[in-house]
Chains A and B, each alone.
Chain A
Amino acid sequence: MATLRDIKRRINSIKSTAKITRAMKMVSAAKLRKAQDRMFALRPYAEKIDELLHSLAQPGEQDVHPLLKVRPRKTVEVLIITSDKGLCGAFNANVLKAGVSLINRLRSEGLDVSLSTIGKKGRDYFKHREVKMRQSWTGLSGKVSYTAAQEVARELMQSYIDETFDELYIVYNEFKSVVAQTIVEKRLLPIAEIKQEEKEAFKDFLVEPSEEEIFNVLLPKSIEVLVFRALIESAASEEAARMTAMENATKNAEEMIDRLTLEFNKARQASITKELMDIVGGAEALKE
């Protein structure tokens, strides 16, 4: 049986673990709030870009923007967004599982698959797997900046235009609520045909340089915004997942402390009883 000292030591070690998990939960909660603010801040911008894209005249058939051009599929690129840090429950496992199943599905269609990842966890996961890793970005998940998203988006768009791949899918965690994150799998390139709406809003507008040119500038911008959004959503989901994971860890640690304390008290009582028995036994022996 464990001695009193052993139990005491275990209780103390679990107590300090609980302290750490509780602190991590608090940090995540603060970071989550920030990430959520970002998501709300982006919304008006994204909506405006979308609205403009839909209302501007598009260039004619002959010089369609290269990002809209649909090519026969040979190589398909998959971009998976993971986190840099662990201790966030099933966050990375879920997105990686979805990514792998997408890759397998594409392969079963006889397509070549190349891969890009964001986040250390994704990079490490695929390091020893049979996938052609094209690019990996790390250090983005902590503080997502638009410039970083722009960089990623530009590289991807350039590779698409250079025909390195013919289609681009993105897989990431979408933030639904603190307790629910869903995996999203989206085709980013080529851009699905943009339906032109009644351009009531901009009918009498002067446009400089020209509607077509602005449209061509906006198109890559819309991809940048999509990538940026995916990064923010993923960052928010990561913090939410970590918060939940740390809360569970704290709860488990507390349960364990309770159990060990009970055991500790029992052991202490047992040792007291034993000592008493000894004393009584000794006294009885002396009487006779």
Chain B
Amino acid sequence: MAEKLTLEVVSPYGAAFKDEVDEVVAPGTEGEFGVLPGHVPFITTLKIGVLVYKKDGKPGYIFVNSGYAEVYEDKVLVLADSAEKAEDIDVERAKAALKRAEERLQKKEDIDFARAQAALQRALTRLKTVELAGKK
């Protein structure tokens, strides 16, 4: 049995993350799931959320914006619309996006409710990722 997992996060902007880790917890559409080395091969879709991995006992956080994950015995491959490591997240931009999304949601006449809501969730999750990483 493999002892380490290779975690690879790929987005249309290129590889966001690639490293050997011990454990991965990812936000699946059917609920969060954890992966340890030797996991059963598995494919699922992901929602907007925070992916947490553990390396040498230290946790790391990656923001993933929907997509899906392929889990192999010794490898986790995540394909997301966008993905950012906690330290790469632009907090100011996320805050601005949050404000914009909130304003849009308040104005009831806005037709594209789903889009505004998704934007809101992306912003919130980005901030949450940073916050989690900050605590450690």
Residues of A within 8 A of B (CB): 37-38, 40-42, 44-46, 48-49, 52, 146-147, 150, 202, 204-209, 213-214, 217-218, 225, 228
Contact = CB atoms under 8 A, between A and B. Distances in A.
B73 to A, nearest CB: 10
Nearest to B115: A151
A213 B44 CA distance: 10
Nearest to B8: A44
A205 B42 contact: yes
Interface stretch (B11-19, B56-64, B128-136): B11-19
B82 A209 contact: no
Given A146-B82, A150-B81, A207-B43, A45 B28 contact: no
A197 to B, nearest CB: 16
B41 interface: yes
A214 B42 CA distance: 12
Contact of B45 (A205, A214, A228): A214
A49 B77 CA distance: 12
Interface of B: 10-15, 28-30, 40-45, 68, 70, 77, 79, 81-82
A150 B12 CA distance: 11
B30 A45 contact: no
B30 A208 contact: yes
Contacts of B45: 208-209, 213-214, 217
A199 to B, nearest CB: 11
B79 A49 contact: yes
A146 B13 contact: yes
Given A42-B12, A42-B14, A48-B79, 20 more contacts: A41-B12, A41-B15, A44-B15, A45-B11, A45-B79, A52-B43, A146-B81, A146-B82, A147-B82, A150-B81, A205-B42, A205-B70, A206-B40, A207-B44, A208-B42, A208-B44, A208-B45, A209-B45, A213-B45, A214-B43
A209 B44 CA distance: 7
Nearest to B41: A205
Nearest to B119: A147
A287 B68 CA distance: 104
6 contacts: A146-B12, A147-B82, A202-B41, A204-B41, A205-B43, A208-B43
A208 B12 contact: no
Contact of A206 (B10, B14, B41): B41
A206 B43 contact: yes
Contacts of A206: 40-43
Contacts of A213: 45
B117 to A, nearest CB: 15
Q: Which 9 A-B residue pairings sit nearest by Cβ, starting from the closest?
A: A41-B14, A208-B44, A206-B42, A205-B41, A146-B12, A207-B43, A45-B12, A45-B10, A42-B12
A228 B12 contact: yes
Contact of A209 (B10, B15, B30): B30
Contacts of A217: 45, 68
Contacts of A44: 10, 14-15
Nearest to B68: A214
Contacts of A46: 12
Which of the listed residues B12, B42, B70, B82 has the most CB atoms from chain A within 10 Å of its own CB? Answer: B12
A202 B43 contact: yes
A174 to B, nearest CB: 18
Which of the listed residues A45, A48, A209, A213 has the most CB atoms from chain B within 10 Å of its own CB? Answer: A45
Contacts of B10: 44-45, 48
B13 A207 contact: no
